[in-house]
Amino acid sequence: MIDIAISAILTVFILANIMNLGGLLLWVERKGSAILQDRIGANRAALLGKLPINIGIINTLVADPIKLFTKEDFVPPNADKFLHWMAPILAMVPALIAFIAIPFGDILVIGEREINLQAANLNVGILYILGMVSLGVYGVVLAGWASNSRWALLGGIRASAQMISYEIALGLALIGVVMTFGTLDLQEIARAQGHMIGGVLPGWGIFYQPVAFFIFLTAGIAESKRIPFDLPEAEAELISGYFTEYSGAKQATFMLVDFLESIIVAGLITTLFFGGWQVPFLMRDGLHLPGDIFYPLPSLLVTLVQHGAFVTKLAFFCWLQIMIRWTLPRFRYDQLINLGWKILLPIALANVLVTGLMILIFQA
């Protein structure tokens, strides 16, 4: 009974936090892009539209969602009303529940009880997340189909082709990581990255699988449909692609899904390649510095520091994706498919092969 209650609390904690992070990323995206383009960005919104009160730098954080959620909810004539209504939900739910398998801390000790800081301790965590991310395609394709619009349909078709192509590279990049750590459980993978290589270098996944990291980052950005791989929504060619015919809260849902997917990608990169919640030299009982120096620390403090490290890394990779989004131009469709099938897939396969050989050599 208590176990279920703890799981429920952790799930609500994660849901609330990543929804908030999604909203925050919208703000980071708007203000951050303005800063790097030598602009000021959105900086005025009067309360109730009349009073000359400017809520300053944070106003887009409040004003944008309020604006989006109070707009008219438009359904085009001859659209499939049921699917048009279902599509945002189908896109949103997998993106929201994928995150529960990502560990955001080691073990929280309260009294006698040890709580694993992961909402669902799945021993097939990676497969679960990949499955959920793949389900996201349905929302996008159905949105394109149900809208009764050629732009939306083109966007949906592009999305299905792109996401299926890049899922293969994504999965193959992960196989290298799984082979290195020998488990599909994300919490176990995070724990396995706690040692130090040669006493100085943290034993993070990127030092074992550098090639897989770049493939995963590329394919991950493509999976979350963001520039330079935002062909499904391509504002210039397809207006907004699959959500051209959406407005108000449903459109806000699709925007939020994009951000949630980039948070999932950032969470996976953090967990698989950058040690998850691991802080170099910090073990469960205290600080182990090189030269056998040991500072014991209380368990609660260690857990909090580790959780802080996870959040910092997650925020950094979310920010990095936004920086990439504002740096690169969009791929052409044939370039995109070429990159996925002719470059990323062979490299990922070669990476699996080399990883297998290395494991054989080092075990022998």
Partner 1 sequence: MKRKEEMTWLERMYLPEVLRGLTVTLFHFGRNLTLHILHSLGMARDTKAAYSTQYPEERKRYPDTYRGSHRLTLKEDGAVRCTACFLCATACPANCIHIEAGEHPDPNVEKYPVRYEIDTLRCIYCGMCVEACPCDAIRMDTYVHPRIWGFSRTDFIEPKEILMGRSHTLADGGRDSLMVQMLESYKAGEKRAMLGDK
Residues that bind partner 1 (CB under 8 A): 32, 34-40, 214, 323-324, 326-328
Which residue reads 């699996």 in tokens? 352
Q: Cβ 38 to partner 1, closest distance in Å? A: 5
Q: Is 265 exposed, middle or buried (0-12, 13-18, 19+ CB in 10 A)?
A: buried
Cβ proximity of 14 and 307 under 8 Å: no
Query: 165: closest CA among 83, 242, 82, 229?
Result: 229
5/51 with CB nearer partner 1: 51
CA distances to 221, 266, 268 from 317, rounded to whole Å, are 11, 5, 10
96/215 with CB nearer partner 1: 215
Tell me the CB-side half-sphere exposure of residue 48, using CA atoms within 13 A: 3
123/312 with CB nearer partner 1: 312
Q: Cβ 326 to partner 1, closest distance in Å? A: 6
Query: 132: closest CA among 101, 163, 95, 87?
Result: 95
150/332 with CB nearer partner 1: 332
71/330 with CB nearer partner 1: 330
* H or E stretch at 110: strand 107-110
Two tokens, residue 237: 């060619």
Q: Cβ 320 to partner 1, closest distance in Å? A: 9
37/363 with CB nearer partner 1: 37
Task: Give the distance, in angstroms, between the CA of residue 25 and the centroid of all CA atoms in the same chain.
Answer: 12
Q: Rounded to an integer, what distance in angstroms lies between the CA atom of residue 204 and that of residue 206?
A: 6
Q: Cβ 231 to partner 1, closest distance in Å? A: 17
Q: Cβ 279 to partner 1, closest distance in Å? A: 25
Q: Cβ 36 to partner 1, closest distance in Å? A: 4
- Beta pairing partners, 54: 46
